[in-house]
Structures are given as C-alpha cells and as structure tokens.
Amino acid sequence: MQFLHTMVRVSNVDESLAFYCDHLGLKEVRRYENEAGRFTLIFLAAPEDLELAEQRQAPLLELTYNWDPEEYSGGRSFGHLAFRVNDIYETCRSLAEAGVVINRPPRDGRMAFVRSPDGISVELLQAGDALEPCEPWASQPNVGTW
C-alpha cells in the first residue's frame, strides 16, 4: 500500500492557493479541470517532495473546487493536515503578516496550528529539536479552535 493524497474541498481557488502556496510554500504539481463534472482538482506538494511528486512518488494535497456553489461544514472528525517547517517562528511570523490567524501559537518552539480559508486545521511542526521558547509566541493564548 502507498499513501497517495489527502483531498480537501475549497470554496475559493485563489484564496486557497494564496494560503497553501504563497503562505505555506506548497507548490502546484498539476491541475485537472473537468467541464462535464464541473470541478477542478489542484495537486500540491511540499517543496522537498516536489521532484518525487512530479514522478507521482510522493503524497500530495488535492484541492477540489466544485464549480457550482456549495457550503462546506467541516467536522473535527477530519483532524488536520501536518507540515514540518524549518523555522516555526519565521513561518508563523510570515503567516501572521499575511493575515492568517495563529490559532495555537508555537509557545513551545515546536508546534503551532492555523486554519485554511475553508477552515481546515493545519499543524506546523518544527523540524528537528524544538526551538527555545521566545516572545511574542511564548505568552500568546490560543485563539478560536484548532
């Protein structure tokens, strides 16, 4: 068995690509538009997985956009997506500057949670050992749900 991808439905392609690509740093690998089915599939990979993803050998994040408007309500049963980052403080600073709410700040120098424009919970984990706790993160409370 091989893990292939995780699919999340999105309501706005531009907002979602800004979040996942511009802010989190994922890269678009391929896109499939189905006019008869009225949907678009956009496959994204982490930068370090890009070469393998282009050969269909790495797990991907599939964004599914249905052309006809639908309202999506996410349950906590989905859980979350998780990404390892090189510097959790820099990643969270950059996301916050882009207007992304840091729901669970990286107080411990190891883990943070944010949400996509469609409410998908995204866990960010520090690569290697946890960084030393520091401000402004160490004293920030959780915001909303994560």
Ordered domains of the chain (ranges, CATH): 5-66 (3.10.180.10), 80-126 (3.10.180.10)
- Annotated catalytic residue, options 33, 123, 132, 135: 123
| Prediction pTM value | 0.79
The pLDDT, as a whole number, for residue 54 is 85
132 catalytic per annotation? no
Considering only CA atoms, which of 92, 117, 94, 115 is closest in space to residue 105?
Answer: 92
Q: Is 53 within 8 Å of 60 (Cβ atoms)?
A: yes
Question: 27: left (phi > 0), else alpha (psi -120 to 50), else beta?
Answer: beta
The pLDDT, as a whole number, for residue 5 is 87
Considering only CA atoms, which of 123, 32, 26 is closest in space to residue 83?
Answer: 123
The pLDDT, as a whole number, for residue 70 is 79
